[in-house]
Amino acid sequence: MNFLDYLARTTRNWTIFAIGFRPFYLLAALGMVVLIPLWLWSLHNGWLPASGLAPMFWHAHEMLFGVMGAVIVGFLFTAVRTWTGLQTPLGGELASFALVWLSARVAAILASAPVFFFLDIIFLPAAALRLADILWIAGNLRNLPVAGLLGGLGIVNLAFHLSVAGVLKASPLIYLHAGLSVLTVIVSLIAGRVIPFFTSNATGRQIVVPIWVDYAAISSTSAGLLSWVVGGASVLTAVLLLVAGCVHALRLWYWQPFAGRRNPILWALPLAYIWIPIALLLIAISPWLAGAATAGVHAMTVGATGGLVIAMMTRTARGHTGRPLKASKPEVFAYTAMFLAAALRVIAPALSPQLHTTTFYLAGAFLVAAFSIYVLVFAPWLFAPRVDGRAD
């Protein structure tokens, strides 16, 4: 019996591997809880991971391609089953994906650069190909671009590694920005599916968004961020990103964000999404305002992506474990902590440069607190069957 057969037999009846979101949401949350303090400690003590990545590159890579990659794959392994009616990876196959992801995270810290390279470049393309195969068999061509974007994120990850190794001459920072850009488009696409749907279901309101608004949001964001990655800060980039930011704000308005103001599990999503137009605006004005690009990157990563992730992870876990779609007090604290972390990373350094170090560590503490709550509240649920007796 080979290892994969053994893994399949061993995990066949494990509830944690019954559906995609269960292992990957938990792994992503644990990744945040472990990696953020380790990164802050490395900065303070001058420690380098065994893979040789500089602390800033290691941190950015693990957040973008590691943690966020896990969240997106977990979401898509769950959503594509609903979209197509076909089975997505579960049991031993799902455990294999989770093992590859976890091995890469450990390798970044403890293994040599070649080992990390080999393990890390497998996960995203393999997940994208598996999803594309399911969508193709189901004839669900409408959602194939999502799998394509996930594959694109994997290609950018490969380019990052080749840049670090000196094979590609461009700075690794370029590929981190490219990865952030692809991630932003993926998050924008997914948000456009779930936020109006959740709000409409919970409030009974009819939410109609003109199709041109959705297309304009995705296309203008893609064009603006591509210009930023390829051409850097310029007037053209600024114009494209300003247009994109305005369209995202209009899109959010059509979603009727105040309809869910009394329900934290609803308002957490638009509260996070509002960081997208803020981020695009900050990157747009970066040629004329020092520090705006860095603030924009953190608005996108901590505010928009982090906020949407914690909100989606809690809602998905509640819905798919048969629990009420009503956030508990700890979850509300987690949403608030994510927003405060974003505000500290984006706003506080500009208001008081002298407090930069303090706000830096405080933002990290809020991030760790938010995802620690997820682990403490949801981990027992993720290992247990649905409370309503239904199959996952």
Q: What is the pLDDT of residues 70-110, one digit of tens each?
A: 999 999 999 999 999 999 999 999 999 999 999 999 999 99
pLDDT of residue 234: 84
Residues in the chain with pLDDT < 70?
1-12
Instruction: Report the interhelical angle of 68-84 vs 172-203 (nearest 10°).
Output: 40
3-state secondary structure of 1: coil
Rounded-to-integer distance, Cα 217 and Cα 292, Å: 22
- 204 by Cβ neighbours in 10 Å (0-12 / 13-18 / 19+) ranks as exposed
Rounded-to-integer distance, Cα 31 and Cα 175, Å: 22
- Tokens at 128, concatenated: 């994208």
Find the radius of gyration of the CA atoms of the chain. Answer: 20
3-state secondary structure of 122: coil
Rounded (5°) CA angle 102-12-390 = 105
pLDDT of residue 84: 95
Greatest Cα pair distance, the chain, in angstroms, is 63
Give residues with Cβ within 8 angstroms of 390, minimum separation 6.
Answer: 322
pLDDT of residue 348: 79
Tell me 18's DSSP state.
S
Give residues with Cβ within 8 angstroms of 57, minimum separation 6.
Answer: 164, 172, 173, 176
One-letter amino acid at 328 equals S
pLDDT of residue 122: 97
